[in-house]
Chain A
Amino acid sequence: MAITVNGPVPDDRLGIVAAHEHLLYGLPGWHDDPAVLFDRPKVFDALLAALREFKAAGGNSLMDASGTLCGRDPEFLKALSAAAGINIIASCGLGAQELIPGYFGLPLAERALREQRRDGEPPLWIPDAGYIGGMLGAEMSDGMPMAGMVRSRACAGFVLCACSAQPASEIEEMAIRGAAMAARRHDVPLRLEGGAHAPRLFPLITAEGLAAGRVVIGHCDDARCLDSARDRELASQGAYVAYDHVGWQDGSPHAMPDAQRVQQVKDMVAAGYAERVLLSCGTVGCGLGVPASKHGVSHLLKDFVPRLSGAGVGDSALHTLLVENPRRLFAQL
């Protein structure tokens, strides 16, 4: 059972799923910047056209991976999903260190000041993994929070966490363990952004009791840290490996030609891990203060899939990659 913004959908009716897209994406605080223009009706129309094109190309579902703070607007996604007839599975979770705002960092900074305080002070509230886990769990059961301290009826369908370049900071570790707790308690997938640190963080996640079949290691097609052995190792442990920046071929440090990605997928299928690979374009439908992606969601089905079949990946394998794997990701374990 997959929790979409318009209610639960049985996993066998998800159809072709784009595992990692951003319909709206912006760094937290983008709304305070007068330079960022968010013309809501125009963006709604543009995304509606993109989703209809994706539907025409055969797509049925889409996983929006903007997380709690990076531009996600639950009511907007609800209306968009209803208008386009596409299942949108929204995500919750705090991103990498530079995307976590001061609210979560302040108590830790204040604790450093605290050492100099005298005893007898009232205890200082400090968020920990359990608190973050409860917070994200409520987003999946009660509804995603909107601006203005109001919960939307739309619930999040999966959790995401991330780790920036250095070893995970205290806040990142707290966010990752919290996300894992929430994913285990609500039995939803967890997406770990960034393949570079996956081997070190994977045991941290499974230590929280989350089944490996619920973990997706995202952005394994990052040009900066390609490692097919790591992909196979993670796949063998039961996690999903996502090549989800299809179409990002130039203009950013993590870009690489799609042909290389075709080769990556072929290697994994050849190695027998076809059930452990997810594909997506990682497009940014509307960039709120960040550049939008030049290609659309339908690039996966219109351009990449023909390349794969041309390169010898059979239809049954394609069906596994695009339909079976996402279905199994959300199915009852």
Chain B
Amino acid sequence: MACVNTVLGPIHPDELGVTATHEHILWGPPGWEYDPEWWFHPPKVFAKCLADLVEYRELGGTTVVCCSGIGLGRDVELYRMLSRYSGVHIIAASGFHEGRNISPHFQDKSIDEMAALFEHEVSAGIGDSGVKAGFIKVGHGHYDISELEEREHRAAARAARRTGCAIITHGAWFGLQELEIFASEGLDLSRVVVSHCSSANVMDIERDKAMAGMGAFCSYDTFTIEPTWNVGSYAGDDERKADLVKAFIDAGHIDRLILSSDVNLFSLGWTRSSPYTGKTTMADMLRYLPGVLRRVGISESTFWKVMTENPKKVLPIE
């Protein structure tokens, strides 16, 4: 009996509707609260996120998957308020991010301790809130999969096998190596979403086809980031990303395609966009992405079908 754990309780997969599979409501490396430069006025941030989610819902979106892991901006009570007062289902994440963004408390935990933590958050609940995490987030840095990150991957794989939940990764730089680690742990690769396949510096259609062949989902989720935003590996003009998606669909892997925009409604301790670019939200993706894809020959109905059907294949927990 499949279910999807949202912050307001489990729902039936049919209720997912249009789902943005790799978004962030709040995201920031742990420890930002120790840096007074980045303090903010909490109610203004809540009001801003609420307005963005309401706009997302008005444009047809029903579900947002917040991929902020433990200590990386996940705030379950805030998500419950946002979900309740905007009508959008929000799915919270367990797991971490890349190695250096794992909080110091968890850095020397063993594989089994991390697996127990993830399993607890998905099956029992996050802290005292009684809210269950919907999936596990892992990630790796730009240069390699470090020892800590490999531990995190193996722990996530074991927890995912025990709980039946999905794994969403950060970073496609070493996507194939990640899938080998998951396969060595005996995880069914159709439960894995490899994200940021459309990062500027790592577009590689052969790798994506190989991953899709192994059953994993490829998430092209850095679309609405303005090309002028320079730093980091996500920028890059959207036309090249749209061509990549078209090639992926032409290769017959449309059922392994995930589209999203990896925006931060509010960044904790850093700023997602420089002063020269606007602040995009998921609503901008629903407004902007169909046009970008239509120009490379992908119809709008295909876009809405992908946004509705594919997340329903990966997010539900058996």
Q: How far is the CB of A189 from chain B (nearest CB, A)?
A: 28
Contact A152 B87 (CB under 8 A): yes
Beta-carbon contacts of A72-115 to B below 8 Å, as 1s and 0s? Answer: 00011001101100000000000000000000000000000000
Contact A79 B87 (CB under 8 A): no
Residues of B within 8 A of A40 (CB): 3, 9-12
Q: How far is the CB of A122 from chain B (nearest CB, A)?
A: 28
Q: How far is the CB of A32 from chain B (nearest CB, A)?
A: 14
Q: How far is the CB of A184 from chain B (nearest CB, A)?
A: 30
In the complex the two chains form, what is the Cα distance from A148 to B90 in whole Å?
14
Where chain A touches its partner, the secondary structure class is helix
The reply on A146 being an interface residue by CB < 8 A is yes
Beta-carbon contacts of A118-161 to B below 8 Å, as 1s and 0s? Answer: 00000000000000000000000000001111101000000000
Identify which of residues 4-43 in chain B touch chain A, using a CB-to-CB cut-off of 8 Å.
Answer: 4, 9-15, 17
Beyond A146-B87, A148-B86, is A39–B10 a contact (Cβ under 8 Å)? yes
Residues of A within 8 A of B87 (CB): 75, 146, 148, 150, 152
In the complex the two chains form, what is the Cα distance from A297 to B152 in whole Å?
49
Contact B10 A150 (CB under 8 A): no
Beta-carbon contacts of A38-66 to B below 8 Å, as 1s and 0s? Answer: 11111011000000000000000000000
Contact B84 A79 (CB under 8 A): no
- Pick the residue among B9, B11, B12, B85 that contacts A148 (CB under 8 A): B85
In the complex the two chains form, what is the Cα distance from A45 to B85 in whole Å?
26
Nearest residue (CB) in A for B81 is A148
- Pick the residue among B3, B10, B14 that contacts A83 (CB under 8 A): B14
Residues of A within 8 A of B12 (CB): 40-41, 44-45, 79
- Pick the residue among A82, A146, A152 that contacts B14 (CB under 8 A): A82
In the complex the two chains form, what is the Cα distance from A150 to B84 in whole Å?
8
Contact A76 B84 (CB under 8 A): no
The reply on B47 being an interface residue by CB < 8 A is no
Q: How far is the CB of B88 from chain A (nearest CB, A)?
A: 9
Residues of A within 8 A of B17 (CB): 79
Residues of B within 8 A of A147 (CB): 84
Nearest residue (CB) in B for A38 is B9
The reply on B2 being an interface residue by CB < 8 A is yes
In the complex the two chains form, what is the Cα distance from A54 to B149 in whole Å?
52
Where chain B touches its partner, the secondary structure class is mixed
The reply on B231 being an interface residue by CB < 8 A is no
Beta-carbon contacts of A266-289 to B below 8 Å, as 1s and 0s? Answer: 000000000000000000000000
Chain B's interface size range is 20 to 34
Contact A150 B85 (CB under 8 A): yes
Residues of A within 8 A of B11 (CB): 40-41, 44
Contact A42 B1 (CB under 8 A): yes
- Pick the residue among A41, A75, A82, A150 that contacts B86 (CB under 8 A): A150
Contact A41 B85 (CB under 8 A): no
Beyond A150-B85, A150-B86, is A79–B14 a contact (Cβ under 8 Å)? yes
In the complex the two chains form, what is the Cα distance from A15 to B155 in whole Å?
54
Beta-carbon contacts of A18-53 to B below 8 Å, as 1s and 0s? Answer: 000000000000000000001111101100000000
Nearest residue (CB) in B for A150 is B87
In the complex the two chains form, what is the Cα distance from A42 to B2 in whole Å?
9
Contact A76 B85 (CB under 8 A): no
Nearest residue (CB) in A for B57 is A150
In the complex the two chains form, what is the Cα distance from A273 to B83 in whole Å?
50
In the complex the two chains form, what is the Cα distance from A147 to B17 in whole Å?
19
In the complex the two chains form, what is the Cα distance from A150 to B150 in whole Å?
43
Q: How far is the CB of A151 from chain B (nearest CB, A)?
A: 8
Most interface-central of A39, A79, A146, A147 (chain B CB within 10 A): A79
Beyond A75-B15, A76-B15, A79-B15, is A41–B84 a contact (Cβ under 8 Å)? no
Residues of A within 8 A of B9 (CB): 38, 40
Residues of B within 8 A of A41 (CB): 1-4, 10-13
Residues of B within 8 A of A75 (CB): 15, 62, 87
Q: How far is the CB of A49 from chain B (nearest CB, A)?
A: 11
Nearest residue (CB) in B for A46 is B1
Residues of B within 8 A of A44 (CB): 11-12, 14-15
Beta-carbon contacts of A253-276 to B below 8 Å, as 1s and 0s? Answer: 000000000000000000000000
Nearest residue (CB) in B for A151 is B87
Nearest residue (CB) in A for B86 is A150
In the complex the two chains form, what is the Cα distance from A317 to B28 in whole Å?
68
23 A–B pairs (Cβ distance < 8 Å), ordered by A: A39-B10, A40-B3, A40-B9, A40-B11, A40-B12, A41-B4, A41-B11, A41-B13, A42-B1, A45-B12, A75-B15, A75-B62, A75-B87, A76-B15, A79-B12, A79-B15, A80-B14, A82-B14, A83-B14, A148-B86, A149-B85, A150-B57, A150-B85
A interface list, Cβ under 8 A from B: 38-42, 44-45, 75-76, 79-80, 82-83, 146-150, 152
Known: A75-B15, A79-B14, A150-B85. 18 other contacts (CB 8 A): A39-B10, A40-B11, A41-B2, A42-B1, A42-B3, A44-B11, A75-B87, A79-B15, A79-B17, A80-B14, A83-B14, A148-B85, A149-B85, A150-B54, A150-B57, A150-B86, A150-B87, A152-B87
- The 9 A-B pairs at the shortest CB distance, nearest first, are namely A44-B12, A41-B3, A150-B87, A148-B84, A41-B12, A79-B15, A148-B85, A83-B14, A79-B14
B interface list, Cβ under 8 A from A: 1-4, 9-15, 17, 54, 57, 62, 83-87
